[in-house]
Amino acid sequence: MIGATALGASFQYLWYLSAPLNKTGDLLASLVGNRRSICVAVVCFFVQISWAGDALSAATANAPSPNTDGQGISGRPRFVREFSSARDVTRAHPVLDRTLDIVAGPAKNGIPVDVLETPYAVTTDSGHRIFVMDVSAKKVHVFDFAHSKYFVLQDGDDHLRRPVGAAADREGNIYVTDSGSGAISVYDSRGKFSRYLKPSRGSESYFEGPAGIAVDPATQHIYVCDSPRHMVIVLDKKGHVLEHFGRRGGGTRAGEFRYPTQVVAALGELVVLDSGNRRLQILDVQGHFQREIQLGYTDSRTGLAVDNNGDIYVSDAVINRVQVFGQEGRLLYAFGQMGTKAGEFDGPAGLWVDSGGCLYVVDAQNKRVQAFQIDQQNAKGCR
């Protein structure tokens, strides 16, 4: 009761201070006539704040997880860098001659192709080169910070229409899903177009709308989300279809999908973003259902990544945050907010965690990618 009275008196005092200037006389009279009560109110107000602060500290010390801002988490991401153009790659070594590194010329619409226009997804290869899918530019940008180089995947015949996903195998081949053409383009380790990944029979693409793609590090099998068919397709590196999970028409039961959009193969499991059902499904590599994690919101922009410990990262372009879940589905923490500063996002989309413990976040509306160190014990780190 004392705290409430003091608080009310204090706010009344603050209201007086905001009174119009033509009421100065009334204000002074009020202050003089009530100086004792005002002093008591102010003292009580600050005492109340002190009590509240102590109570809040005690509650915070005993609060259970999740920790929604990542404070106190040993693996909390540490911002390393952001990049949005070729200039960001070579800036680290300004004395190097970059004329041989930049192989991309001006785009047909006049916008330089060495600048991110509409970044959508991101991945890396074993050499820590960063591949960023740019749907408007119809290009895949390659950022090589280790060698201060930048280039785009060489598709001289404009093979790509809407690149939305990519994955690398152990030989350095890059597989790019193209939702515009329904194809998967394959590039060699030098970045040159090699072929389309498709079954040997017929010339048409096997896929209706390929989206997320992953390569299993152990088997080198390739997993592709074919969203319109509500399936995950399994292929070998020659394009032979080995298996598929899900069924046409979709479903809500375990092992069924509605518009799966992302897949990650890690630690002997598959994590599938089942966007239409607003959940993650975790399967073994043979497609057998293991468990699921319910999500509050998903759409076609939602990104997915898994780190070396099995923690799962999911982006949310609406609230501009990245959520981090444990293997069993417990929310560990979340980070990010709307903005343009380091660690802030505007429409976070694609995610990727490389072998060096570096988390890459496509910050789509800010037209950049942000890199965070999540494995503080890894000496390699973000390169």
Q: What local confidence, expressed as pLDDT, does residue 55 receive?
A: 37
12, part of any domain: yes
68, part of any domain: no
**CATH number, domain with residue 327:** 2.120.10.30
| Residue 152 and residue 43 in one domain | no
CB atoms within 10 A of CB 38: 17
Q: What local confidence, expressed as pLDDT, does residue 93 receive?
A: 52
| Residue 94 and residue 151 in one domain | yes
- Residue 366's nearest CA partner among 327, 339, 332 is 339
CA distance 261 to 304: 9
| Residue 190 and residue 284 in one domain | yes
69, part of any domain: no
| Residue 33 and residue 157 in one domain | no
Range(s) of the domain holding residue 36: 2-61
| Residue 190 and residue 285 in one domain | yes
72, part of any domain: no
206, part of any domain: yes
Tell me whether residue 188 is exposed, middle or buried, using C-beta atoms within 10 angstroms of its C-beta: 0 to 12, 13 to 18, 19 or more.
Answer: middle
| Residue 148 and residue 220 in one domain | yes
Ranges of the chain whose pLDDT falls below 70? 1-75, 91-112, 155-158, 199-204, 376-381, 383
- Residue 167's nearest CA partner among 217, 203, 120 is 217
| Residue 129 and residue 190 in one domain | yes
CA distance 332 to 28: 54
296, part of any domain: yes
Q: Residue 274: helix, strand or coil by DSSP? A: strand
**6-23: buried (b, 16+ CB within 10 Å) or exposed (e) per residue?**
beebbeebeeeeeeeeee
* Residue 67, token pair as written in the block: 């920790």
| Residue 148 and residue 288 in one domain | yes
| Residue 155 and residue 273 in one domain | yes
| Residue 100 and residue 31 in one domain | no
Q: What local confidence, expressed as pLDDT, does residue 70 receive?
A: 42
How does pLDDT run across 319-362, given as a tens digit for each residue? Answer: 999 999 999 999 999 999 999 999 999 999 999 999 889 999 99
Q: What local confidence, expressed as pLDDT, does residue 71 receive?
A: 39
First and final C-alpha spacing in the chain: 58
Into how many domains does the chain fold? 2
